[in-house]
Chain A
Amino acid sequence: MLPEGVERFIRSPREEHFEEVALEAFAFQFSRVEPIRRFCERRGSVPASVASWTEIPAVPASIFKSVDLFAAPPQAVFDSSGTTQGDRRSAHHHPFLELYRTVIDSSFPAFCLPRGDRPPMLSLIPKAELAPESSLSFMVDHVLETFGAEASVNAVGPRGIEPATLRSWLGARQRAGTPCFILATALSLHQCLEVLDRLGLSFRLPPGSAIFETGGFKTRTQELDRAHLHDRVEQRLGLSVANVVEEYGMTELTSQAYTRTLLGGAEGLFVCPPWMKARILDPATLDEVSEGGDGLLALFDLANIGSALHLLTEDIARKEQGGFRLTGRATGAELRGCSLTAEDLAQGPLRQAP
């Protein structure tokens, strides 16, 4: 059912074939996802007329909050965490979970395990059985199962991070002296550090150890300071920011972008795998900005063939060195108040003290 070219490209990408596979994927999606077909027809962009993937109309990711998009019967429905626009959550009806696994297998090791090893892993992200609606939990479960050594554990229970598991795993890794790997969101990393603060524990994780960090730094109730968080990671775990790989992912996507920190890349500079293309668009014209320019981040993800290939995110990013750097976020429209310019009083009590 799935066009062969897509999976083949993800397993063995050859840039010169990208355009051809992208157009094949568009034709597939056009024929199977009715809302996409209608949208593209209104835009005058149909498979017969589209000559390049950049001409395929980009769908605002916010549409996932109100329209179900799927090219085949969904095998899972992933929901957004809903930190914004509280009353509406994105739902990604995913019809191709095997393709999702292929994406993880083809990208995660390249960015996160560059030595090709299989380290013991600690997940600070709930298992899928606790959070079946979370695409991140799906991904992390698969990573632990596929790339984690036998001593890998998930330290999140129904009531959050389990201090005993955390303490025992970190202690064992410190004693073992071989590299290990931690998977966390910024918030769960913060919670982990709070647990260690409470226990009064610090560890020196072995050289070569690394952290996978994803998710924003702002929640409904607090805004984390990234530099401060990483300082605390260094104090409590003995890992510097150079050991932290950031991941950029969205419920509405199947693929992820990563920083190349473990390969000597710059901190905060995201790079897409070969089957996902990022463009930074001028919001006024939707033309691509030039190098160094800021704009609306658009992502074309071949692996999103089951829903919407081309997405307009709500993120503002800067085009830089073949990748992108996040510079802001335009969360959905909110009520105006005599308060629009978020009076800085708000930020004081909400931001973690540096």
Chain B
Amino acid sequence: MYPCPLDPAALLQIQSQLAGNGASSLRSVGTEQLLGAWNDTISAFADPRSPERRRLDDRLGPASGLSQRCLNESLGALLEGFSARESKIVIDRAAKCREPLACFVILAANIPGLALQSLLACLALRQPVIFKLATAEPFFTPAFLDALERREPSVAAASAALTWPGGRRDLEDPLCEAVDHVLAYGGADTLSALQDRSAPKLLPFGPGASLAVLSDADPDDLPRTARALARDTALFDQRGCLSLQVIFAQTNIGALAEAMGQALADAAVDLPPGTVSSSDLVRARLAREEAHFQGLDLIELPLAQGTVIVDPRPQFLASPGLRTIRIHPVDTLEIVPERLKLLRGSLQGAVLLGAAAQKLRPRLERLGASHFCLPGKLQSPPASWANGGVDLVRTLSARLRGSAAG
């Protein structure tokens, strides 16, 4: 990792070096060689007992706020999407796209491993990339790059992970100017500010929500289904856009709620909650009290472990976090896409269980959902996942004419 470049000129020099020597050295590496190094690094990071992971976890654990077991499982789930087969798909698709463009990626802190998708896309395209790390979690990406560079030294010349206090326009503006693409993961305010500054090059990845739709769920399978849904909720402590927030179901609502309560209680043992802030606790408490006021059925675990709210009103309400799940009973699944219209552009993942639920896929796609899966796989999108509808390899292989993602 480069030291914090407080000097704008130094930062531009890094960018210039990456774009010159770095990009050319990366282009000399064969696909099989690059893929081998990538797969080997992914395997090392997927194994919590590997030396590279153990060195990282000492720092990543506290910085992420996740319990060690939850961190292990969460990273494991995320890295599952970067299997050798999935990563090869990305690299193969990029084989013909070798225009030497450069990328600046602004990362958020809540999901360790967030950098992997853009890193793989840039490597596949042999493009240099600079990551701006979140100051709250500056560990995963540099550790991964170091490990990858040990296996494939040419990566070192084409990538950099840096951090500086956010809002340093003296650093960020010239860098945005110098690169061809700016990928930003952030909240609405962050992205809005960036939009003003680098709109034509910006690929914004903003807040999102994920849900499950269950039709004709077999009552005998409910415990297993609930365990998988609880996992989709608990991984990364329900902090990501692929974290499960709501379930729409047609039948067995009471049994489903009971099963979810039990599954979240089990998840609290298997995937213990991490550190929680006062505001997290207050938000979750207020959601419970509001549900009580409205006379809704609740299953209340210790506050950080989870809450199940059965809400007959079929509208989407964002979860306050802390593994809070709303179950909406619906007479017909047909109304689900209608009720999600306000989420257009923010819908990310959908667990679809049952034939009738599967039929909703085209309508949910039109609302922006881009990752469809069975219970338990929400947090394992494939490496080629079009996050926010953006096919990264295709998008990064050309100069942008306007904002491409929403």
User: Is A bound to B?
Assistant: yes
A binding-site residues for B, Cβ under 8 Å: 35, 38-39, 42-43, 58-60, 62-63, 66-67, 87, 283-284, 286, 294-296, 312, 314, 316, 327-330, 332-351
Q: Is the CB of A283 within 8 A of B281?
A: yes
**A296, A338, A340, A351: most-surrounded residue (chain B CB, <10 A):** A338
Q: Is the CB of B303 within 8 A of A349?
A: no
Closest to A348 in B: B167
Q: Is the CB of B108 within 8 A of A316?
A: no
Near A by CB (< 8 A), chain B positions 253-288 give: 278-287
Contact mask for chain B residues 193-223; partner A; CB cutoff 8 A; 1 contact, 0 none: 1100000000001111100000000000000
Closest to A341 in B: B109
Q: Is the CB of A314 within 8 A of B238?
A: no
Q: Which residue of the partner chain, among A39, A296, A312, A343, contacts B166 with CB atoms under 8 Å?
A: A343
Q: Is the CB of B207 within 8 A of A283?
A: no
Contact flag A42-B295 (CB < 8 Å), given A330-B278, A339-B186, A343-B109: yes
Residues of B within 8 A of A59 (CB): 289, 293
Q: Is the CB of B189 within 8 A of A346?
A: yes
Q: Is the CB of B187 within 8 A of A343?
A: yes
Q: Which residue of the partner chain, among B193, B207, B238, B243, contacts A350 with CB atoms under 8 Å?
A: B193
Q: Is the CB of A337 within 8 A of B108?
A: yes
Q: Is the CB of B319 within 8 A of A333?
A: yes
> Can you show 29 pairs from A to B with CB atoms below 8 A apart?
A42-B292, A60-B293, A67-B293, A283-B278, A283-B281, A283-B285, A284-B285, A329-B279, A330-B283, A332-B286, A333-B321, A336-B110, A336-B207, A336-B240, A337-B186, A337-B207, A337-B241, A338-B185, A339-B108, A339-B110, A340-B110, A340-B187, A343-B106, A343-B185, A344-B136, A345-B167, A346-B193, A347-B167, A348-B167
Q: Is the CB of B108 within 8 A of A348?
A: no
Residues of A within 8 A of B184 (CB): 345
Contact mask for chain B residues 175-187; partner A; CB cutoff 8 A; 1 contact, 0 none: 0000000001111
**A42, A295, A336, A349: most-surrounded residue (chain B CB, <10 A):** A336
Closest to A338 in B: B185
Q: Which residue of the partner chain, among A294, A314, A329, A343, contacts B134 with CB atoms under 8 Å?
A: A343
Residues of A within 8 A of B106 (CB): 343, 345
| B383 at the binding interface (Cβ < 8 Å) | no
Closest to B107 in A: A343
Q: Is the CB of B241 within 8 A of A336?
A: yes
Q: Is the CB of B165 within 8 A of A348?
A: yes
| B111 at the binding interface (Cβ < 8 Å) | yes
Residues of B within 8 A of A42 (CB): 292, 295
Closest to B206 in A: A337
Residues of B within 8 A of A340 (CB): 108, 110, 187, 207, 239-240
B binding-site residues for A, Cβ under 8 Å: 106-111, 114, 132, 134-137, 165-169, 172, 184-187, 189-190, 193-194, 205-209, 238-241, 243, 245, 278-287, 289-290, 292-295, 302-304, 317-321, 342, 346
Q: Is the CB of B286 within 8 A of A314?
A: yes
Distance of A335 Cα from B319 Cα, bound (Å): 7
Q: Is the CB of A332 within 8 A of B283?
A: yes
Q: Is the CB of B278 within 8 A of A328?
A: yes
Q: Is the CB of B284 within 8 A of A335?
A: no
Distance of A328 Cα from B168 Cα, bound (Å): 25
Q: Is the CB of B208 within 8 A of A335?
A: yes
The 3 closest A-B pairs by CB, nearest first: A348-B167, A345-B166, A337-B207
Q: Is the CB of A328 within 8 A of B279?
A: yes
Closest to B239 in A: A340
Distance of A348 Cα from B166 Cα, bound (Å): 6
Question: How far in angstroms is the closest Cβ of chain A from B384?
Answer: 17
Residues of B within 8 A of A58 (CB): 289
Closest to A35 in B: B293
Q: Is the CB of A341 within 8 A of B166?
A: no
Q: Is the CB of B190 within 8 A of A333?
A: no
Distance of A63 Cα from B190 Cα, bound (Å): 29
Q: Is the CB of A342 within 8 A of B240?
A: no
Q: Is the CB of B293 within 8 A of A333?
A: no
Distance of A347 Cα from B135 Cα, bound (Å): 13
Question: How far in angstroms is the closest Cβ of chain A from B225?
Answer: 22
Closest to A220 in B: B189
Q: Is the CB of A337 within 8 A of B238?
A: no
Q: Is the CB of A343 within 8 A of B207?
A: no
Contact flag A39-B293 (CB < 8 Å), given A341-B134, A350-B189: yes
Distance of A196 Cα from B273 Cα, bound (Å): 51
Distance of A335 Cα from B193 Cα, bound (Å): 18
Closest to B282 in A: A330
Q: Is the CB of A39 within 8 A of B292?
A: yes
Q: Is the CB of B205 within 8 A of A337?
A: yes
Q: Is the CB of B285 within 8 A of A296?
A: yes
Residues of B within 8 A of A348 (CB): 165-169, 193
Residues of A within 8 A of B107 (CB): 343
Q: Is the CB of B285 within 8 A of A333?
A: no
Q: Which residue of the partner chain, among B114, B168, B287, B302, contacts A333 with CB atoms under 8 Å?
A: B287
Residues of A within 8 A of B240 (CB): 336-338, 340
Question: How far in angstroms is the closest Cβ of chain A from B91?
Answer: 23
Q: Is the CB of A284 within 8 A of B281?
A: yes
Question: How far in angstroms is the closest Cβ of chain A from B300?
Answer: 11
Residues of B within 8 A of A35 (CB): 293
Distance of A35 Cα from B133 Cα, bound (Å): 48
Question: How far in angstroms is the closest Cβ of chain B from A286?
Answer: 7
Distance of A350 Cα from B299 Cα, bound (Å): 39
Question: How far in angstroms is the closest Cβ of chain A from B234?
Answer: 13
Residues of A within 8 A of B302 (CB): 284
Distance of A160 Cα from B283 Cα, bound (Å): 34
Residues of B within 8 A of A347 (CB): 166-167
Question: How far in angstroms is the closest Cβ of chain B from A219?
Answer: 11
Q: Is the CB of B111 within 8 A of A338?
A: yes
Q: Which residue of the partner chain, among B187, B290, B303, contacts A342 with CB atoms under 8 Å?
A: B187
Residues of A within 8 A of B283 (CB): 330, 332-333
Residues of A within 8 A of B109 (CB): 341, 343
Closest to A41 in B: B295
Residues of B within 8 A of A339 (CB): 108, 110, 185-187, 190, 205-207
Residues of A within 8 A of B166 (CB): 343-348
Distance of A330 Cα from B286 Cα, bound (Å): 9
Contact flag A337-B208 (CB < 8 Å), given A312-B286, A342-B187, A348-B168: yes
Question: How far in angstroms is the closest Cβ of chain A from B120?
Answer: 16
Distance of A230 Cα from B346 Cα, bound (Å): 40
Q: Is the CB of B193 within 8 A of A349?
A: yes
Residues of A within 8 A of B185 (CB): 337-339, 343
Distance of A345 Cα from B131 Cα, bound (Å): 13
Q: Is the CB of B239 within 8 A of A349?
A: no
Given contacts A327-B278, A336-B207, 15 further A-B pairs with CB under 8 A are A60-B293, A314-B282, A333-B283, A336-B209, A337-B185, A337-B206, A338-B111, A338-B208, A339-B207, A341-B110, A341-B137, A343-B107, A344-B134, A345-B190, A346-B167
